[in-house]
Amino acid sequence: MIVTGILSSLSLGVMSGVTIFGVGFFDFFDILTDKIFLAIGGMLLAIFVGWVVKKEDLYDELTNGGEKEFGLFNIWYNLIKYVIPVAVAIVAVMGITDIEQTGLMIFGLAIIVILAIFSPKLS
């Protein structure tokens, strides 16, 4: 964290001429977190909740052990399991392909491909 903070700070001044994938360190970390990691994190969270966590545990958690009413649970569960990961993946790919720096765009797409290859649910 210290190193990335120092590099980001210095890229706006002393190290303004140093670039990675055609952008300064500050912009690199901004694009990396905003366009790539945020979308991938949301997709992985939806996959985890939909496919790894038991349905009964989710219902217990969302209804406070059955004390609260959540009549749309089955609809929500199907959305979180099937629709939301696909929708977030589409948004992630669109956001990554919108990146103007080709090297950084390929880096983002490579991260998605690597995660898909090593995902036990997709292989």
pLDDT per position as a tens digit, 75-107: 999 999 999 989 988 888 888 788 777 787 787
Residue 121 — pLDDT band, cuts 50, 70, 90?
low
Q: What is the pLDDT of residue 67?
A: 85
Phi, psi (rounded to 5 degrees) for 24: -70, 170
Q: How far apart are CA 121 and CA 44, in angstroms?
A: 11
Q: How far apart are CA 92 and CA 34, in angstroms?
A: 10
Q: How far apart are CA 106 and CA 66, in angstroms?
A: 46
pLDDT per position as a tens digit, 24-62: 888 888 888 888 788 888 888 988 999 999 999 999 988
